[in-house]
Chains A and B, each alone.
Chain A
Amino acid sequence: MADLARRLGTALPVAALGIAAIWLSRDFPPVPGQTYGPGLFPTLLGWVLTACAVGVALQPAGARATAATPRGRLAAVIYALAPAVFLLGWESVGWPILSFALGTILLAVGRVRWWRCLAGGALIAVLTWVLFPMLLRVPLPRGPLPFIPY
């Protein structure tokens, strides 16, 4: 029963993606004078995905991965959330403060001593600033620190 649930858990998202592709492609207008158009290729891919999902569901499920520790899971969640924090504070907070703060927090999650975390966070902020905005001319936002040179 558990094997069936895992097989379905592996195959169903693929089937759903395939069906969604077919469904969303159905209203794409054809090329003038033809019976096919922008929907043809995605529809074909939708059918391939659905067929593959059937194939995957019929296979025995693979070996289960070893469970992570609660601390490991928490660390992974914090790392997965970090890019989302960048999205939220990109313009308002700016790269120097964000990279320093997140660099420090992410290092702390990796069980690094607090003073090394602070030094590491500062080093990351300075290095990325010198490399990207100053050398490669990537316009990273300065946030509330407009005096920092580009």
Chain B
Amino acid sequence: MDALLRAFTMVGQPEVLLTIVVSSIFGLVVGFIPGLTATMATALLVPFAMFLDPVSAIASIVAATAMAIFAGDIPGTLLRLPGTPASAAYVDQSYRLAMAGRAGEILGINVVFSALGGIFGTIVLVTSAPLLADYALQLSSFEFFWLAVLGLSCAVFVVGDNVAKGLAALAFGLLLATVGRDYTSGFPRFNFDEADLLDGIPFVPALIGFFALPEILRTMLGDAAARGQPITQAGSIFSGMLRAVWHWRWNFLRSSALGTAVGALPGAGADTAAWTAYAVSKKLTRDPQAWERDSVEGIVDSTSANNAALSGAWIPALVFAIPGDTITAIAIAVLYLKNVTPGPSIFLENAHVLYAVFTTFFIANLLMIPLGWLAIRVAIPILKMPRQVLMAPLLLFACVGAYAVDNNVFGIGVMLVCGLVGYWMEHHGYPVGPVVLGMVMGRLVEEHLMTSLIKVQGDVTRFFERPIATALAVFTLVVWLLPLVRWVARRLRRSSLSSASGSV
């Protein structure tokens, strides 16, 4: 109780609150600019955090990342350019609905459900952190491998009815992830003697290329669909939100829980959580036609999940000093530099710091609604301008964003190539979303596949020995077989209908 009171006193200090507000605005700006990720916001904050006390330093990271993940939804909805990878899963659906004149509603849903998802994740973090982290620690490479395969399997069904094209896009993304040094032996693969490719294809420039450049080219080609003025509800961002929250309460709870759990798994961050929640949403929806057409269900699910995952990633980070994602890896480094050792002992030695971090999470997520509203108001006038005029600054921002990740002009080249490939893919009906998913998860899948194979000397049957691994494998097989079962059922229904009409 003493530690709790001490934590409240620490967070209530004006300089800590000011740090939270300034970092939140910084996170919003970084998240809003396509190509600059929440990880980049965190990395840019570290030099400043060195001058702050431990609570302010961690508070600045928590606030900036929460805001950046939400702010990534703004250009995603308004311009089909996900500000951060965590918004990529539902960017197509958000943009399509925005083009149909529902931009205000979608942005309102983004900000409200992001904040609620973050608060949900924080509650889980505070109450059940040791349990979840303990569970994640019990998983071996076999379970991680099957979890990753299951996530990818679900994603193939996200892309629509064309499984062949979705699977091809996913395999292409996974193949891109193999470029560079192999994780097991360090052998360079597919780098064609290019030193810049030894560490793999830079992800953020590729992301900008796949999502931004095709959209810019389509707009300049003069596609009718790309010329619309999406904003028609500028003044009604929060209109009907209470009703929406009540209507989608079960989706919110399910996806936030899923996002928190995914976030708590090492290596799986907010972007994986968003993709998984999106896939689950599509599978479990009661009205598949409305889900595809005009429902916001998929957006509610994934936008809740990605912010919940942020809090979830802190569970193993704080309790076991195992980073849930790159952001918490940086945060752990900051804690060490501030002489605060994360791990089980933090509850005994620095409980007040721990509680202060928890309090910061609540404040940052509550601040998201007013600050997010302001950010949206600033963004909306952008769409009043003709779309083709916007493309010039957008392309220059994309170029500088691709450069800024590693301060390397190679990023601009990667962006250009990926953009042209992305344009070709979309022109021929291949979805680009699974490519990005494959790039995100490729390393995880291969790493766990190889680790598991080495453990069992190549005996694949032992991938099914552990009970959780077996359950995950069976579930994966069910997901794969589901389209086949549906196809057979459809054929049977058709043949029974035709025989019935023949008898009439």
A and B are partners in one complex rather than unrelated chains: yes
B-facing residues in A25-42 (Cβ within 8 Å): 25, 28-29, 31, 34-38, 40-42
Assuming the contacts A38-B189, A59-B164, A72-B222, asked whether A87 and B392 have C-beta atoms less than 8 A apart, the reply is no
Measured between beta carbons, the chain B residues less than 8 angstroms from A28 are 182, 187, 189
> Is B449's beta carbon under 8 Å from chain A?
yes
Which of A52, A59, A95, A99 is the most central at the interface, judged by chain B CB atoms within 10 Å of its CB? A52
Q: Number of contact residues on A: which range applies?
A: 35 or more
Is the contact region of chain A dominated by helix, strand, or loop, or is it mixed?
Answer: helix
B132: Cβ under 8 A from any A Cβ? no
A138-B407 in contact (CB<8A): yes
A103 touches B393 (CB 8 A): yes
Q: Which B-chain residue is minimally distant from A39 (CB atoms)?
A: B189
Residue of A nearest to B405 (CB): A138
A106 at the interface (CB under 8 A from B): yes
Q: Does B363 contact A (CB under 8 A)?
A: no
Beta-carbon contact of B397 and A128 below 8 Å? yes
**B397→A76 contact, CB < 8 A:** no
Which residues 14-67 of A sit at the B interface, judged by CB distance below 8 A?
14, 17-18, 21, 24-25, 28-29, 31, 34-38, 40-42, 45-46, 48-49, 52-53, 55-56, 59, 62, 65-66
Nearest chain A CB to B458's CB is how many angstroms away? Answer: 6
Q: What residues on A are CB-neighbors of B178 within 8 Å?
A: 41-42, 45
Known: A56-B164, A72-B221, A72-B222. A111 touches B175 (CB 8 A): no
Interface pick from B72-80, B303-311, B312-320, B413-421: B413-421
Write the nearest CB–CB distance from B202 to chain A, whole angstroms.
14
Is B396's CB under 8 angstroms from A52's CB?
Answer: no
Question: Would you list which residues of chain A between 96 and 132 have a CB under 8 Å from chain B?
Answer: 99, 102-103, 106-107, 109-112, 120, 124, 128, 132
Asked whether, in the complex, the Cβ of B44 is within 8 Å of the Cβ of A137, the reply is: yes
Q: Mark A127-150, 1 if CB is under 8 A from B, else 0.
A: 010001000111110000000000
CA distance A91 to B407 in the complex (A): 12
Q: In whole angstroms, what is the CA distance A37 to B44 when docked?
A: 37
Q: Is the interface of B mostly helix, strand, loop or mixed?
A: helix
Question: B485 near A: Cβ within 8 Å?
Answer: no
Q: Which residues of B contact A91 (CB under 8 A)?
A: 409
Q: Which of A53, A69, A76, A111 contacts B168 (CB 8 A)?
A: A53
A31-B454, A79-B391, A87-B413 given; A24·B190 CB < 8 A: yes
Residue numbers in A under 8 Å from B397 (CB-CB): 128
Q: Give every chain B residue within 8 A of A75 (Cβ-Cβ).
A: 220-222, 388
**Complex CA distance for A56 and B164, rounded to whole angstroms:** 6
Knowing A42-B189, A111-B388 touch, does A82 contact B395 (C-beta < 8 A)?
A: yes
- Could you tell me the distance in whole angstroms from the C-beta of A107 to the nearest C-beta in chain B? 5
| Candidates A21, A38, A48; contact of B182 at CB < 8 Å | A38
Query: Taking the nearest CB of chain A, how far is it from the CB of B399, in angstroms?
Result: 5
Q: A31-B454, A82-B395, A110-B392 are in contact. Are A49 and B400 (CB under 8 A)?
A: no
Told that A29-B187, A80-B416 touch, could you supply 16 new A-B pairs with CB distance under 8 A? A10-B428, A13-B424, A37-B187, A45-B174, A65-B427, A69-B222, A75-B388, A83-B413, A86-B409, A109-B220, A109-B392, A110-B389, A112-B389, A128-B397, A132-B400, A132-B404
Task: Give 28 A-B contacts (CB < 8 Å), ordered by A residue.
Answer: A14-B172, A31-B184, A34-B458, A36-B458, A42-B175, A42-B178, A45-B178, A46-B175, A49-B172, A49-B175, A72-B222, A75-B220, A75-B388, A76-B221, A79-B395, A80-B217, A83-B213, A83-B412, A86-B412, A87-B416, A109-B392, A120-B393, A124-B392, A124-B396, A132-B404, A138-B400, A138-B403, A140-B400
Chain B interface residues (CB < 8 Å from chain A): 44, 162-165, 167-168, 171-172, 174-175, 178, 182, 184-185, 187, 189-190, 213, 216-217, 220-224, 386, 388-389, 391-393, 395-397, 399-400, 403-404, 407, 409, 412-413, 415-416, 419-420, 424, 427-429, 445-446, 449-450, 453-454, 457-458
